[in-house]
Amino acid sequence: GINILKLFILMIILAQAGVSKATPSFARQTGMSCTACHYSFPELTPFGRQFKLNAYTMTMMNTIESKQDSDKVTRLKLLSYLPLSAMVQTSFSSNAKAVEGTQNNSIAFPQQISMFYAGQITPHIGSFIQMTYDGQVFGMDNAEIRYANRTSLGSTSLLYGVTLNNNPTVQDVWNTTPAWGFPTASSDAANSPAKSTLIENLGMQVAGLGAYALIDNLLYGELTLYRSSPQGAANPADSTSVMTVRGVAPYWRVALQHAWGNNYAELGTFGIASNNFVNGISGPIDKFTDVGFDLQYEHTLNTGTLVLHSSLIRETEKRNSTINNFHFNSFKIDGNLYLKNGLGATMGYFNSSGTKDADVVESSTNKPNSNGFIYQIEYLPWYNTKFSIQYITYSMFDGSSTNYNGAGRNASDNNTLYLLAWFNF
């Protein structure tokens, strides 16, 4: 077998060239190190959350400006360079038992290559737009354009804005929701449980416009309305489309945050309600309601930061296409230690359960129940470069610990070792 500790030590030895400043477009725009916004990318610091809420517009770089003399209003404020960045991920995956019909011990080079247009557009508008090649296709990935401004209502401060994005929760500033939750990268060559929530699967299939506000740096609220906008399929939706949203799907987010001493905590709720045509743009409709609850806690140490994330999503699916309704719960929790020397360690637990349904899970039990642990060790020799080792273990997979597929495959056969090299520049 592969000795994980020896591999990790080897990566550290090979990478001991020192720690330097990252160069992606946000770092170039602000003149700040990546560590100003990230404990370990993409995990946001308090400053990183503020930078995102303020529409990615803070800049210390030279700009091209034009003002109208009559009203002294700035009519143009362009960055003196295009805010472009790139990302490369390459990985190795080894499953405890090869996935049926595939070769084990696979290398993805690349797993992903992404280009970003990310930075200030105007003094109050900024963007995070990602285009990705995943080894098979090239297309739109996570994308957001947002407007932000500040005002006060008496003694109350108000940060408010508008978001246009293509993935519910990609606009979120906490690392507890689906778009940015742990693990932020995983193997494409491993089996995954058959069922996950709707809100985890709408990325690049919808477009949403919404408004948000942060009151006194304490209470955050957002309402965004999503409509189908599929990538790689008919647009507008037609008779060939699948699971098209009828009308709009409202997404909500409410969160309370508070910092005291070396501590920070966030407690919130989020969710989406969507009526989807089963096929085409007419006919039977399935009604999905996803309600989520989340918690994030941070504690600053002399040597680094401890971060805890937890979330619970409860999904109810009411079907007009069949006589069955479906209920599903997804719980996740992870603890992270990020050290100032670039080392990091994470342990996570996940547990999903729900109604027995052969239409949802084709297994020996027809149940969506899965649970297990994820362990990860990472090292950032430079703030824009990450090497990580991840190991995922399953105690239950698609409703059973043994012979879950009726063909002799056990849950533990899907245990996966995943090595990742992640470069941002």
pLDDT confidence of residue 173 = 98
Burial class of residue 335 in the structure, from the number of CB atoms within 10 Å of its CB (0-12 exposed, 13-18 middle, 19+ buried): middle
Judged against a pLDDT cut of 80, whether residue 335 lies above it is answered with: yes
In whole angstroms, how far apart are CA 51 and each of 13, 20, 26, 57, 419? Answer: 34, 21, 10, 7, 31
Round to whole Å and give the CA distance between 337 and 419.
19
262-302: pLDDT as tens digits: 999 999 999 999 999 988 899 899 999 999 999 999 999 99
Which of these, 109, 118, 132, 130, lies nearest to 26 by C-alpha position? 118
Quick one: pLDDT band at residue 12, thresholds 50, 70, 90? very low
pLDDT confidence of residue 60 = 82
Average the pLDDT over 171-192 and give the result. Answer: 96
Backbone region of residue 15 per phi and psi (left: phi > 0; alpha: psi in -120 to 50; beta: other values): alpha
Structural domain tally of the chain? 1
- Contact partners, residue 238, CB within 8 Å, separation at least 6: 280, 281
85-112: pLDDT as tens digits: 999 999 999 999 998 889 999 999 999 9
pLDDT confidence of residue 321 = 66
CATH of the domain at 327: 2.40.160.10
Evaluate whether 346 touches 332 at the Cβ level (below 8 Å): no
Residue 5's CB is within 10 A of a number of other CB atoms, namely 9
pTM of the full predicted structure?
A: 0.90
Round to whole Å and give the CA distance between 422 and 246.
39
Domain that holds residue 322: 4-65+73-424
Quick one: pLDDT band at residue 255, thresholds 50, 70, 90? very high
